[in-house]
Structure 1
């Protein structure tokens, strides 16, 4: 799995003194950037080839200010034109959340999904995880 580290910022906490549930989707998206680069190495917004179809986050334990988090990212399913990203948030060696995001390889000119090219598929297959 790929790994990204984030510092928990004070403003990401809520009145209950833990990280707000809305913050995790931002961390998950930021941690998907290496996957975006597989499809679009320059991250050109004028040639963006992906859309987010859905996401689900399961909260397992609270996340607190003061310790960094690690977001682990892998692929849990690889279809013809779509794939599912599996992600985990860890803090202090404890699994705190996990999420599944469905991404679609998309042609904005035709407004239709497009088959994932073989060269990209091969790179995604290297990231398939059984932890999901």
Structure 2
């Protein structure tokens, strides 16, 4: 499991003073960066070989501006060419959001999914936990 601490910025609040619901998917993307590095160690866009097929977010509690958040990230499934990433946002000991992302290892030459190399699968196994 990966964890990332984030101090919410004032610009991420809505008119009610809560963290806007559009912010959590961006925090989740930032939390997935260590997983990206297995596939694209250079992190150069021209080397990119991952796409998002689906994201979903459940908002469980309000997030506040003045308190740090922790984004927890792990894999809940590894397939032939895809993986399911599960993530949570915690604040003040409360799970405030939970989400899933379906990520596909992608070949832009053939414009199709590509098998995840066995060496990468083995590295990903360390971060696999059931929901």
* TM-score over 0.5 (shorter chain): yes
User: SS of the residue aligned with 1:28?
Assistant: helix
Aligned residues: 131
Q: Identify the residue that residue 39 of structure 1 maps to in structure 2.
A: 39
Task: Write out aligned runs for 1:11-22 (5 A).
Answer: 11-22=11-22
Aligned-pair distance for 1:26?
A: 0.4
Tell me, which stretches of 5 or more residues in structure 2 are unaligned? none
Q: Which runs of 5+ in 1 are unaligned?
A: none
What is the CA distance between 1:15 and its match in structure 2? 0.9
- Structure-2-length-normalised TM-score: 0.98
Query: Aligned ranges for residues 1-132 of structure 1 at < 5 Å?
Result: 1-130=1-130, 132=131
Q: What is the CA-CA distance between 1:88 and the residue it aligns to?
A: 0.4
Q: Give the TM-score, by structure 1 length.
A: 0.97
2: CA distance, partners of 1:127 / 1:61:
26
Q: CA deviation at 1:129?
A: 1.5
Deviations 1:23-62 (A, max 9, x none): 0000000110000001111101111010000000000000
Q: What is the alpha-carbon root mean square deviation over aligned residues?
A: 0.6
Deviation at 1:17, TM superposition (A): 1.3
Q: Structure 2: how far apart are the matches of 1:72 and 1:21?
A: 17
